[in-house]
Structure 1
Amino acid sequence: MGDFHLLFVLCLIFSTLKISSARDTISLDDPLHENETIISSGGTFEMGFFRPSSTSLNRYVGIWYKKIIPKKTAVWVANRKAPLSTNASSVALKILSQSQQLLALLTDTNDVVLSVNTLSSSPISLRNPVMQLLDSGNLVVRDGGEENPESFLWQSFDYPTDTYLPGMKMGINFETGHEVYLSAWKSAEDPAPSEYTSNLLVTGYPQGIIRRGKAMIYRSGPWNGVKWSGIPSPDINPIYNYDLFINKTEIYTNFSLVNESVISVLYINYTGVVHRLMWVEGMRNWITIGKLPTDDCDRYGNCGGNGLCNIGNFPVCGCLDHFLPRNQAEWGMANFAGGCGRKRSLDCQSGKDSGGFLNYSGIKLPDTQNSWYNETMTLQECQQECWKNCSCTAFSSLDVRNGGSGCLIWFGDLVDIRQMAGRGQDIFIRLAASELVSGSGFRREHRKILEIVAVTLSSVIGLFLISGLSLMLYVRRKKKTKVLRDEDFELPVFHLRTIARATNNFSVDNKLGEGGFGPVYKGVLENGQEIAVKRLSKASVQGIHEFKNEVVFIAKLQHRNLVSILGCCIQGEEQMLIYEYMPNRSLDLFIFDPTKRKLLDWPKRFNIINGIARGLMYLHQDSRLRIIHRDLKASNVLLDVDMNPKISDFGLAKSVAGNETGANTSRVVGTHGYMSPEYAVLGIFSIKSDVFSFGVSVLEIVSGMRNKGFSPEDQYHTLLGHAWKLYREGRSDDLVDYHLVVESGDLSQVLRSIHVGLLCVQQHPDDRPTMSSVVQMLSNDAVLPEPKEPGFFTQMGFTSAECSSSTPAASSLNEVSISLVDLS
């Protein structure tokens, strides 16, 4: 019993220590040191010192989610402009009681790294100043002796970084002049403010915007009582609610969560794209449930004044009804900046032209910087207000609820209008009387008759046009069968102008490489996303089959170790595929380069081997189609920013039906050195052909040597033969890349990988394991079977007559390549 009581007392002491350590405040006598944190009362947020990445040398003070989320997602950074370097041996976050300097970040030499003042203009004397982290994520400074706990002298919600939390106000206080807005990080590892900001613009009627420096690049549209009119979201949102507040002292917006158990934030990334994130517990990760801008029509002022952007059209820009391009020549060259002008000008000042209004439905309302509004007017009163002002060009209701109320009036050109499919608003645009059905003004019954007639005529004319177009396409296909269409692919379609702009008009400086299909370019979309563009060359004689083949397969495959296709662009003779861009490009650029291979330590190489194995297992076993890649090699394995592998280039891939695992062909395609013996000689391919190619890749990754062209100073002419010889002599560790420093604990894993590689390259297909078996062999320590002789390990030469090839493809410099047999 004595031991039991002692154990009980110890548990009580430790539990008390745990509770007392989870404090949420910092006081004069209790600063926050580097190895400490404070935690909000509900355990949702934590504050302390952090590094943005494992490689970062700078330290910051920040707030991140503590509860539920394992990742340290920083939602606020205190010293984003003044990071603490490794030279500062110790730091502490202290409260200073004198004057207005309430909060200070000091180094061990008492140098002030960061100080924050209250918004008050006069010094404040605090009896008991404390800094407290609230469960909303708001860091506040208040008087600990103050009876009202909501009386804050300073709060971090007034100085956000890149993240917009529920309950945070975004807007401007007219009394103090203080503006609350988001400012993106400079990069993924640098919290310093970048040129991208997200603001509530209060000039005219309030609207959300994204700026790059002083230039506006996106606009949300004005608030319509339910949502921001230009954002394609439902009127009743099941996740969050927004509100807009306007009074004499301030204008601000904020959002709240419908279900408080949901975790969702808004943040602007370092490329200027605003993401709505939600934490999904089942996935243990953040997912993006919306982002802005979304497409070309979200680019501010894309179509100029009085232009209308419709993402479903090509080109996307057109003019409002009864308006024409101001500069037809520039418009024809896809330069829409000049916008559109009226066919007939308004002449209300002379009293001869009273004019009228044309109703546009389903649009994003124009930029409201040059507007006037009244919250109490009816729509009829709004029309009269516009009517009596010659400068008024359009009007709309301010609040769409209960049939519409309030008045919003525009003056001058209407800028940044887009068609909104089913979720837009009505606007009434002023026209000259001669442009309307009746000279005295617009009459609804006349418009109805016109609409019926127009629809009927459009249907008849459309029927003739469709028939003619179908005949023309049929004849064109008969004349030139290599032309593809958008309809051939189940992919998002990019406009040629978008891709041309992204690649700087297919500049040589953007060119990444070239294969038998044509060139590959790097591009950057308007939203900052990097892409790789695979452009089929007009002179290509062998790329069209592989081009279409790749789309058919890769568009239906989704796996973390397969490259993702984003869309296509088929216009006239232009046929392009758009992929996610891999910043580290292909594996061969690392493992065969004497300098770059040093960047791949063994954990990275083993991760790459495992990733390729899992990608192949998905193709062979888990995907909707059973896919045989047929061209797996180091140049067709791409590396993302974290050096994770992604299999690419499905131009030569084949699918097999049902439970089949292979087939044969008279057209042998692939790359010599990676092809299995049965495929190269007999044209028999199967999932075991891919296993052979994987085994070659494993031995190349471990050794840093190419299988093709291998010529050590002995009788063996391939890497496979060399590896087999060393294995039989018990010297497999001699195969390891001499640049690779292998820790003693990793050596067994390296040798096991070589063993697995040799099992995969055995001469006979039936002896090779399946990829699911390979994944298991790599992940556990079970005894492995002894390998038999590999294929192509002796001097087995093959001439070009034994393999079919039209044009040898150049080695790919990026993720997109199509390769035929390469005997060079």
Structure 2
Amino acid sequence: MDVLHSMFIMVAYVLVSSVKASMAVNDSIGVSQFMSDGMTLVSQDGMFELGFFSPGNSTKRYLGIWYKKVAMHAVVWVANRVNPINGNSGKLTLDNTGNIILISNNGSVVWSTTSQREPLNPVAHLMDSGNLVVWNDGGSDSNDILWQSFDYPTDTYLLGMKLGRDLQNGFEWRITSWKSVDDPSPGNFSLGLALSDYPEFAIMNGTKKFSQIGPWNGLYYSGLPSLNAYSDIEISYVSNQKEIYYTFSSKNGSVISRTVINQTSKVLSRYVWVEKAQTWRIYESLPGDVCDNFGLCGAYGSCITTSAPICQCLKGFRPKSAEAWNSSNWAQGCVRDESLSCTDIGEGIGIANTTDGFFKFEGLKLPDTQHTRLLQNLDIHGCSALCLNNCSCMAYTNSDISGGGHGCVMWFGDLIDIKLFQSGGQDLYIRMPASESEKSKMQEYMEGYVDDTDLPLFDLLTINIATDKFSLNNKIGQGGFGPVYKGKLAHGPEIAVKRLSRSSGQGMAEFITEVKLIAKLQHRNLVKLLGCCIQGEEKLLVYEYVVNGSLDTFIFDQTKSKLLDWPRRFHIIFGVARGLLYLHQDSRLRIIHRDLKASNILLDDKLNPKISDFGMAKTFGGDQTEGNTNRVVGT
């Protein structure tokens, strides 16, 4: 940020360093009056100045508007940005058709406005807002505008400007970067409105999206939740059949603010003038981080700045190419673990045969809205039903989250450019097959519990890499509920992964029981649970790796059993008893293991015992001494 700030200070100075001492001609010119190079118009409050300047190291002359009142006179608008004047021969005049004309010394027209209306006593006036306006019949009191520079912005957005579209006239309000410090002609980067049923604002690099600000959700733009916290400006968003635009205004009237898109830094930055420091300070930038780069994680990939890697497949999805994903090439995105069941049986009338459901993802920047449908009069329940009955509908949410939420927007096709915020963000309901939907709900529940215990959730890709895709060479045991594999986390410890068999008797209830019970247990004679994973059909528990395996491999092995002399056997028995005493008496809840056997006692490198496998365990209240079970458990 400091680098950008320093860069901007330098650029702002260079832009106006060649502006010559000038003579002000008030704040307006009338028909047939001329303003030559060296003369300027100054707004009534002295904030803005209109005149001729040469940018950077260029000797070419441009007509522009810049800040006059502040120390760093940054240029905010350029008239003839594609057609500069050679030498100091430029003249500005207002003709009797109400159009401003810029001419060179040979009389050729360099630039002009194009008002189609019949004028009556027109006047060109530089407003205190920085807007150059041609007023009809009597000046600014008439509210009759023939033309204004705010309709033709260059690289800078000023308070009071519109950004968006005039739908009736096919007119667009868009800011476009300078090519360079020396050349104000239009560059490749621009900020404007991308039209769709649910339109969004985006930074474009040529014709490609570079970073999306997102759609307006009633409170802020989906990609900029921080806008909701602005205390100095007020945002107005207008969307109707005639126009779609937003505009900023100052809440207290004293804020000097501008937003600039810069081709060199590839950043859209909002600056506020700090009078005490006599400098422009950056208050917001986009892209703000790498996750603001459009489509970085591909379809169904979520970008999270605090994770490693920063791209993660959404729950119920896996990398389309594991090899590319491992190489930090995430553009191919993610595909579903299981196919959807939906088939259309009533084409055109919104009827589908499906067992699909929806899972709510929270705290997101909404995906790209190019393929969306907006129904402003439909509530969230109607939106869900309508989306469910259309097999092409992949997600839905409220189009407006203010006042508890209302309106419906649905997504069709792949979901692209999703970002997860640390705070703020929106809910999005994504279509899932029935089994995945249930598992996702269960994982959501587990995540809520895990968040409370700081227990990590591992993704399947990490476990696959650690165990070499559950290689038989890494298999170290087989229990009643499935095999156990040895693994090695990248830059981490060795682990033991319990992989619940799909045909095992341990279902989701037993799985969650084991996680819930052991997550908070901390005792040297209990095996330590490092994390868990639910993805696709997989239910995995990740434990610390206990090097000597289970006690039964010693007891029933003629060679190993000789290592267990009576002192060691007593040490093991005593350790198991200590672990049970902790479970029965000293832990927060009384926990009865109910499946204690030699294969569930693990031995570390010093033959210290650790009780494992809590899938059949049962909890009791702290003062409860007996209870009933409804089925036979254990071995």
Return the offset for 1:132.
0.9
Report what 1:201 is aligned to.
194
The 1:292–1:471 alpha-carbon spacing in structure 2 relative to 1, beyond 3 Å, is closer
Q: Secondary structure at the match of 1:426?
A: strand
Measured against aligned partners, the alpha-carbon deviations of 1:495-525 in whole angstroms (never above 9, x if no partner) come to xxxxxxxxxxxxxxxxxxxxxxxxxxxxxxx
Amino acid at match of 1:85: N
The 1:460–1:151 alpha-carbon spacing in structure 2 relative to 1, beyond 3 Å, is closer
Return the offset for 1:306.
0.7
1:130 lines up with 2:123 in the alignment = yes
Report what 2:559 is aligned to.
none
Amino acid at match of 1:297: C
Return the offset for 1:364.
0.7
Distance (whole Å) between structure 1 residues aligned to residue 362 and residue 307 of structure 2: 17
Report what 1:768 is aligned to.
none
The answer to whether the 8 Å contact 2:202/2:211 transfers is: yes
Measured against aligned partners, the alpha-carbon deviations of 1:787-823 in whole angstroms (never above 9, x if no partner) come to xxxxxxxxxxxxxxxxxxxxxxxxxxxxxxxxxxxxx
Q: Secondary structure at the match of 2:165?
A: strand
The 1:378–1:286 alpha-carbon spacing in structure 2 relative to 1, beyond 3 Å, is same
The 1:280–1:359 alpha-carbon spacing in structure 2 relative to 1, beyond 3 Å, is same
Return the offset for 1:46.
1.2
Residue segments in structure 1 that go unaligned for 5+ positions in a row: 1-19, 476-824
Report what 2:99 is aligned to.
102
Report what 1:65 is aligned to.
67
Distance (whole Å) between structure 2 residues aligned to residue 324 and residue 422 of structure 1: 25
- Alignment TM-score, normalising by the size of structure 2: 0.65
Amino acid at match of 2:71: P
Report what 2:156 is aligned to.
163
Distance (whole Å) between structure 1 residues aligned to residue 433 and residue 490 of structure 2: 42
Distance (whole Å) between structure 1 residues aligned to residue 312 and residue 457 of structure 2: 21
The answer to whether the 8 Å contact 2:155/2:260 transfers is: yes
Distance (whole Å) between structure 1 residues aligned to residue 452 and residue 126 of structure 2: 65
Measured against aligned partners, the alpha-carbon deviations of 1:572-621 in whole angstroms (never above 9, x if no partner) come to xxxxxxxxxxxxxxxxxxxxxxxxxxxxxxxxxxxxxxxxxxxxxxxxxx
Distance (whole Å) between structure 2 residues aligned to residue 471 and residue 321 of structure 1: 22
Report what 1:311 is aligned to.
305
Report what 1:84 is aligned to.
85
Distance (whole Å) between structure 2 residues aligned to residue 165 and residue 437 of structure 1: 49
Report what 2:92 is aligned to.
93
The answer to whether the 8 Å contact 1:97/1:125 transfers is: no
Report what 1:459 is aligned to.
455
Return the offset for 1:159.
0.3
Measured against aligned partners, the alpha-carbon deviations of 1:178-210 in whole angstroms (never above 9, x if no partner) come to 111001011112111111111111223121111
Report what 1:530 is aligned to.
none
Distance (whole Å) between structure 2 residues aligned to residue 274 and residue 424 of structure 1: 21
Return the offset for 1:319.
0.7
1:257 lines up with 2:250 in the alignment = yes
Distance (whole Å) between structure 2 residues aligned to residue 234 and residue 115 of structure 1: 37
The answer to whether the 8 Å contact 1:358/1:429 transfers is: yes
Return the offset for 1:302.
0.4
Report what 2:176 is aligned to.
183
Matches within 5 A, 1:593-742: none
Report what 1:353 is aligned to.
354
Return the offset for 1:33.
1.4
Of 269, 279, 283 in structure 1, the residue corresponding to residue 273 of structure 2 is: 279
Q: Secondary structure at the match of 1:233?
A: helix
The 1:401–1:109 alpha-carbon spacing in structure 2 relative to 1, beyond 3 Å, is same
Report what 2:166 is aligned to.
173
More strand per residue? 2
Return the offset for 1:450.
4.4
The answer to whether the 8 Å contact 1:77/1:191 transfers is: yes
Amino acid at match of 1:179: E
The answer to whether the 8 Å contact 2:53/2:62 transfers is: yes
The answer to whether the 8 Å contact 1:359/1:427 transfers is: yes
1:49 lines up with 2:52 in the alignment = yes
The answer to whether the 8 Å contact 1:48/1:61 transfers is: yes
Distance (whole Å) between structure 1 residues aligned to residue 168 and residue 208 of structure 2: 26
Return the offset for 1:405.
1.4
Return the offset for 1:430.
0.8
1:331 lines up with 2:331 in the alignment = no
1:216 lines up with 2:217 in the alignment = no
More helix per residue? 1
Measured against aligned partners, the alpha-carbon deviations of 1:126-166 in whole angstroms (never above 9, x if no partner) come to 23222111111111112244795211111101100000011
Worse-matched range after superposition: 374-383 or 411-420: 374-383
The 1:274–1:344 alpha-carbon spacing in structure 2 relative to 1, beyond 3 Å, is same
* Percent identity for Structure 1 against Structure 2: 38
Q: Secondary structure at the match of 1:315?
A: coil
The 1:242–1:127 alpha-carbon spacing in structure 2 relative to 1, beyond 3 Å, is closer
Amino acid at match of 2:96: S
Q: Secondary structure at the match of 2:455?
A: helix
The answer to whether the 8 Å contact 1:201/1:207 transfers is: yes
Distance (whole Å) between structure 2 residues aligned to residue 225 and residue 147 of structure 1: 33
Distance (whole Å) between structure 2 residues aligned to residue 452 and residue 211 of structure 1: 38
1:31 lines up with 2:38 in the alignment = no
The answer to whether the 8 Å contact 2:313/2:334 transfers is: yes
Measured against aligned partners, the alpha-carbon deviations of 1:325-382 in whole angstroms (never above 9, x if no partner) come to 1222222222211111111122221665331111111111101111111223222222
Amino acid at match of 1:275: S
Distance (whole Å) between structure 1 residues aligned to residue 449 and residue 253 of structure 2: 53
Distance (whole Å) between structure 1 residues aligned to residue 138 and residue 273 of structure 2: 37
Return the offset for 1:317.
1.1
Distance (whole Å) between structure 2 residues aligned to residue 371 and residue 472 of structure 1: 43
The answer to whether the 8 Å contact 2:119/2:146 transfers is: no
Report what 1:435 is aligned to.
436
Matches within 5 A, 1:530-545: none
The 1:34–1:202 alpha-carbon spacing in structure 2 relative to 1, beyond 3 Å, is same
Return the offset for 1:316.
1.2
Amino acid at match of 2:92: L
The 1:138–1:336 alpha-carbon spacing in structure 2 relative to 1, beyond 3 Å, is same
Amino acid at match of 1:317: C
1:413 lines up with 2:409 in the alignment = no
